[in-house]
Chains A and B, each alone.
Chain A
Amino acid sequence: MDIVTDTLSALWKVLAVGILLGAGLPALYALGLRSMNSGRTVNADGTVSGSTSAAGRAVGLVILAVVIAIALFGIVVIVWGKQIFGA
């Protein structure tokens, strides 16, 4: 039954990487959005007051750029990883 345990250990890795990237990247993206909108507050009646800060927007954009870079790097590793790193 080695073949079954191998499959299960691969699935375990998919879950770990999945949580790290699949849940981590959207969370990072959410942080970026939050930073871009920092300074604005939502009032109890649903209206929005205040304005966004330049620093908040800058940090937010950097975070979003990091998310995009990680996603692109992920594609490169997965499509060409075997040629680049050997396997």
Chain B
Amino acid sequence: MEALFILIVVVVVALAFDFTNGFHDTGNAMATSIATGALKPRVAVGISAILNLVGAFLSIQVALTVTNKIIAIQGDNGAPIPSLMGVPILTIVFAGLCGGILWNLATWLFGLPSSSSHALFGGLMGSAIAALGWGGVKWSGVITSIALPAIFAPVVAAIVSAIGTRLVYAITDRLAPESRERGFRWGQIGSASLVSLAHGTGDAQKTMGVITLALIAYGSWTSTDSIPWWVKIACAASIALGTYIGGWRVIRTLGKGLVEIESPQGMAAEAASAAAILTSSHLGLALSTTHVATGSILGTGLGKKGATVRWGVAGRMVVAWLITLPAAGVVGAITWGIAHGLGPNAGTAVVLAILIAASGFMFHRSRKNAIGANNVNSEWEGGLAPAAEPTQPVPAAGTPAKA
């Protein structure tokens, strides 16, 4: 019976992670379209949510390989190692998810785009090390699936995006600025939609894999190459709902903080992101959508003559990326310790209570300088918080607050 309690908690917490994955990553696809005014903020997150939903159903890859690449709790065929069946594996997965969620919320609070996949991997690595020792992590997988892609994804995306930006401006330099701006808005919407679709196919799968792994560990599912239909539906719905809620803080940093963007740059950036994400997933190489999108937006600042890149903002993002794995890992390890130490029932309940309390605290903090559809595009003046005084009336949707 105690395994059933953890299983239910794991499924719920995994869906919560999927939700944070959605709202954390909305900006990757839609920040540029929102910043240039190609789409109204609410419309942008709505389109992105629908495409994430569609993408989640399109994904066909076997998702159990996601966790198997980096932690040693599964055999070659993806099934859990027999000695870890039941409570041990469920506790590791539960603690890992807690690390992933808390890191996603913390970076969201600071408006920093950081990879949700890395947060999940970091949490799982931490709990696996706590449970099984250093051998609990497959370090070669960490290098090839996490470290190398993290170094190269932003660079590759920035190069592609800079080349695209340069070409696009060179080709259209004699167009009237208004027709150029208007023409590229459509290209921007199309390319941003592609990124949303790609995100759904890639990221919803990771949670599907985690839940399926938990079901196998509990013993209520046996197939290692298919996913229960309700898991698919629940994961697709969670990521879409999260996307629709919109991680406005991250959207603001990506769309306004890093580079001031015009619509030709927006199209170049999103096309570069879409090409890099779709190609890499086709080759079985998991590039983080966040790293790719951030690199693309940076690249479009480098590619346009006279554009400025706010390197301070970029630097903070890089720091966040570097500490993602250790930070989520430490949380994963600590929560595993609590959950394991207090036993399956009490431990799981205590950790769940801590998770809810910490999430509530971060949400509460975010209300102090709330960012939403109304002020996501306000002028960037040295920081995430818009300049508007709290006592001033909230500007109407679509009109940026006056500085």
Question: Which A residues are closer than 8 A to B by beta carbons?
Answer: 3-4, 6-8, 10-11, 13-15, 17-27, 29-31, 33-34, 36-37, 40-42, 48, 67-68, 71, 74-75, 77-83
- Which listed residue (B60, B156, B171) contacts A15, Cβ 8 A? B156
Q: When the two chains form their complex, are residues A78 and B275 in contact, meaning their CB atoms are under 8 A apart?
A: no
Q: When the two chains form their complex, are residues B159 and A15 in contact, meaning their CB atoms are under 8 A apart?
A: yes
Q: Can you add 12 more A-B contacts, CB < 8 Å, to A15-B160, A33-B172?
A: A3-B140, A7-B144, A14-B280, A15-B156, A22-B164, A23-B272, A26-B187, A30-B172, A33-B175, A42-B175, A75-B278, A83-B60
Q: When the two chains form their complex, are residues B176 and A19 in contact, meaning their CB atoms are under 8 A apart?
A: no
B56 CB, nearest partner CB in chain A, Å: 12
Q: Is B368 an interface residue (CB 8 A)?
A: no
A21 CB, nearest partner CB in chain B, Å: 4
Q: Is B236 an interface residue (CB 8 A)?
A: no
Question: Which B residues are closer than 8 A to A by beta carbons?
Answer: 58, 60, 140, 143-144, 148-149, 152, 156-157, 159-161, 163-164, 167-168, 171-172, 174-177, 179-180, 183-184, 187, 190-191, 194, 197, 201, 264, 267-268, 271-276, 278-285, 287
Q: What would 26 A/B residue contacts be, using CB atoms closer than 8 Å? A: A3-B144, A8-B148, A10-B285, A14-B280, A15-B156, A19-B163, A21-B275, A21-B279, A22-B160, A22-B161, A22-B274, A22-B276, A23-B167, A26-B168, A27-B167, A30-B184, A33-B184, A36-B183, A40-B175, A42-B174, A42-B177, A67-B187, A75-B278, A78-B278, A81-B282, A83-B60
In the complex formed, the residue of A with least CB distance to B61 is: A82
Task: Kindly state the separation between the CA atoms of A26 and B300 in the bound complex, as whole angstroms.
Answer: 12
In the complex formed, the residue of A with least CB distance to B274 is: A22
Interface of A is mostly: helix
- Which listed residue (B140, B174, B275) contacts A18, Cβ 8 A? B275
In the complex formed, the residue of B with least CB distance to A79 is: B58
Q: When the two chains form their complex, are residues A17 and B144 in contact, meaning their CB atoms are under 8 A apart?
A: no
Task: Kindly state the separation between the CA atoms of A20 and B156 in the bound complex, as whole angstroms.
Answer: 13
A2 CB, nearest partner CB in chain B, Å: 10
Q: When the two chains form their complex, are residues A17 and B174 in contact, meaning their CB atoms are under 8 A apart?
A: no
Which chain B positions have C-beta within 8 A of A83? 60
Task: Kindly state the separation between the CA atoms of A11 and B291 in the bound complex, as whole angstroms.
Answer: 14
In the complex formed, the residue of A with least CB distance to B163 is: A23
Given A11-B285, A14-B285, A18-B275, decide whether A23 and B172 contact each other with a Cβ distance below 8 A: no
Which chain A positions have C-beta within 8 A of B149? 7, 11
Which chain A positions have C-beta within 8 A of B143? 3-4
Which chain A positions have C-beta within 8 A of B271? 21-23, 25-26
B99 CB, nearest partner CB in chain A, Å: 25
Q: When the two chains form their complex, are residues A74 and B160 in contact, meaning their CB atoms are under 8 A apart?
A: no
A44 CB, nearest partner CB in chain B, Å: 12
A51 CB, nearest partner CB in chain B, Å: 12
- Which listed residue (A34, A42, A68) contacts B171, Cβ 8 A? A34
Which chain B positions have C-beta within 8 A of A18? 156-157, 159-160, 272, 275-276, 279
Q: When the two chains form their complex, are residues B168 and A14 in contact, meaning their CB atoms are under 8 A apart?
A: no
- Which listed residue (A3, A26, A48) contacts B267, Cβ 8 A? A26
A5 CB, nearest partner CB in chain B, Å: 10
Task: Kindly state the separation between the CA atoms of A48 and B116 in the bound complex, as whole angstroms.
Answer: 47
Q: When the two chains form their complex, are residues B194 and A31 in contact, meaning their CB atoms are under 8 A apart?
A: no
Which chain B positions have C-beta within 8 A of A25? 271, 275
B63 CB, nearest partner CB in chain A, Å: 15
